[in-house]
Amino acid sequence: MTQDTILTNASIILSEEVIHGTIRLQDGLITDISSTATGVAGAIDLEGDFVAPGMVELHTDNLERHLSPRPKVDWPHRAAIIAHDRELAGTGITTVFDALRVGSIVSDQSKHHGKYARKLTTELLALRESEKLRISHHIHLRAEICSETLTEELAEFGPEDRIGIVSMMDHTPGQRQFTDVQKYKDYACGKHNLDDAGFDEHVSFLYGLQSKFGKKHEAATVAEASRFGAKLASHDDTTTKQVEVSHSYGVSMAEFPTTLDAADACHAKGISTIMGAPNIIRGGSHSGNVAARELAERDRLDILSSDYVPAGLLIAAVQLGNLWGDIARGLSTVTRNPANAVGLLDRGQLEIGKRADLIRFGNSSETPELKGTWSAGTKVF
C-alpha cells in the first residue's frame, strides 16, 4: 500500500542551503522537493520549522547504559535494545552504529566487564530482522587492545554479521585519552572505589596486559576488520606518530583525537575526524583533552558523535551551524558526513530518491526542539 506524506511550509536543510518549501515522502523514499508551499489536502503544515535528514550516529555507548543501568546490574537484553531504540528515535537519530566492546579481562572481573558482544549482536540482529526496531541499527565493534580475550571474541564474528565499523581502542593509562594519569586515577578510583595502593596495583596490571598483548591485538583487529569488510577507526589518537600508524593500518576515521597535532595529522592524511557532541556543548573535554570547538574553528572537525548523550547530537550540530554561520554545514556533521564515511549513500541528504529518514525541529537560540522523526517514511517520534 502506498504511504504518502507531504510536509509543507518547511525550512528544508539541503546539503548546501536552506530553502522554504515542501517535501514529499512516498513508500520510504523522498519523491519530491520544491521551493513552494502546497495546498494539497492532507499536507502537514510545519509552520516554518526546519526539516533535516535523520541523523547518523557512528559511536554511542548508550546501549551499554541500558544494559547495565547500575553497576553489576545486567538488564534483560531485549528490553534494553528496544528502550535504546526508542530513545534514539526520540532524539532524531535514524541510523545508529551501536558500539559494543570486544576484549575482556577475565582474570579480574571485579574491575572489568565480561564478554557480551556476540550474544547481544545476535539478539539485536534478530530484532532488526523481525522489524521490531524503529530506526536503522548497525554494529560497531570497539576492540579493546588492553585486554586478554580480544582475538577469541573477534573470531566469533563473520561477514554475515555485516559489521560496519571496527575501532581500535587502547585505554592503558598514561597515553591517549588518559595521558594525564591523575585524571585516570580520579576516574578509576571513583568507579572502582580504589585506594592509592589498589590504584597502583590496577595500573601495573594494565601495563602488563598492554605489554603482553598490545601488538598482537592491534594486528588481529586490523586483519579482522578486513575480513568483516568493515571500516576501520582509530580512537583517541594523541600524537602525529600514532596517526601515521593508524593511516598505515587503513584507518579512515579517527574517533576523538585528543590534541590539535593529531587532528592536523588526520586532516593531512584524509582521515575523517569524529568529535563528541558533549565536548561541543560543555565547551571542552571531560578528560582535559582538546576542545572540539577549537577543532571546528580550525576546520578540523568532520563528524559529530553523541558518545554518551544521544540528545546532545542535534544540539551540538545546531551550535556548530551557529558557530560557522551555516546551519546546513552544521547539520552535515551528523547527517551527510557520517553517512558517506561508512558508505551509506542512500541517506544523510534530502534528495529525491534518497531514503526518507528526516527530522523536524524548531530552533530557539542554541537549543533546538525536536518535533518529529521519520524513518524510511514512517513517523517514529
* 35-47 residue pLDDT tens: 999 989 999 999 9
**146 or 75: which carries more pLDDT confidence?**
75
Q: State pLDDT tens for residues 243-270.
A: 999 999 999 999 999 999 999 999 999 9
Name which of 188, 164, 148, 144 is nearest 58 in CA terms. Answer: 164
Identify whether the C-beta of residue 12 lies closer than 8 Å to the C-beta of residue 33.
yes
CATH topology of domain 55-347: TIM Barrel (3.20.20)
CA atoms of 380 and 182, how far apart (whole Å):
44
Here the contacts of 152-159 (C-beta below 8 Å, separation 24 or greater) are: 153/102, 153/103, 153/104, 153/115, 153/117, 153/118, 154/102, 154/220, 154/221, 154/224, 155/224, 156/118, 157/118, 157/121, 157/224, 157/228, 158/227, 158/228, 159/227, 159/228, 159/229
Q: In this model, does residue 96 exceed pLDDT 80? A: yes
- Largest Cα span, the chain: 73
Q: Label residue 197 by pLDDT band (50, 70, 90).
A: low
**Cross-strand bridge partners of residue 31:** none
The pLDDT of residue 205 is 73
Q: In this model, does residue 339 exceed pLDDT 60? A: yes
The pLDDT of residue 199 is 67
Identify whether the C-beta of residue 236 lies closer than 8 Å to the C-beta of residue 169.
yes
Assign 371 to helix, strand or coil.
Answer: strand
CA atoms of 296 and 310, how far apart (whole Å):
20
Q: State pLDDT tens for residues 117-166.
A: 999 999 999 999 999 999 999 999 999 988 889 999 999 999 999 999 99
**363 or 192: which carries more pLDDT confidence?**
363
**181 or 281: which carries more pLDDT confidence?**
281
Quote the cell numbers at residue 325. 554561520
Q: In this model, does residue 209 exceed pLDDT 80? A: no
| Residue ranges per structural domain of the chain | 55-347
The pLDDT of residue 193 is 62
Name which of 147, 117, 128, 183 is nearest 375 in CA terms. Answer: 128
Name which of 54, 78, 23, 52 is nearest 135 in CA terms. Answer: 54
Q: How many helices (H) and strands (E) does the chain have?
A: 13, 16
DSSP 8-state secondary structure symbol assigned to residue 68: -
The pLDDT of residue 148 is 87
Identify whether the C-beta of residue 59 lies closer than 8 Å to the C-beta of residue 255.
yes
Range of weakest confidence among 175-184, 295-304, 327-336? 175-184
pTM: 0.91
Average pLDDT value for residue range 269-278: 98
Residue with cell 593531512: 268
Runs of H (alpha helix) within the chain: 62-67, 77-89, 117-129, 150-154, 181-192, 196-228, 240-249, 260-269, 277-282, 292-297, 312-324, 327-332, 336-341
Q: In this model, does residue 284 exceed pLDDT 70? A: yes
Q: How many Cβ atoms sit within 10 Å of the Cβ of residue 202?
A: 21
CA dihedral 89, 92, 97, 103 (to 10 degrees): -80
**198 or 47: which carries more pLDDT confidence?**
47
Quote the cell numbers at residue 209. 596486559
Q: In this model, does residue 336 exceed pLDDT 70? A: yes
**Average pLDDT value for the chain:** 91
The pLDDT of residue 333 is 98
Identify whether the C-beta of residue 58 lies closer than 8 Å to the C-beta of residue 97.
yes
Q: Label residue 299 by pLDDT band (50, 70, 90).
A: very high
For residue 359, what is the enclosing H or E element?
Answer: strand 358-364
Q: In this model, does residue 188 exceed pLDDT 80? A: no
Calculate ∠ Cα 350-302-292, nearest 5°. Answer: 125
The pLDDT of residue 187 is 60
* Interhelix angle 181-192/196-228, nearest 10 degrees: 100
Name which of 254, 310, 283 is nearest 66 in CA terms. Answer: 310
CA atoms of 279 and 6, how far apart (whole Å):
36
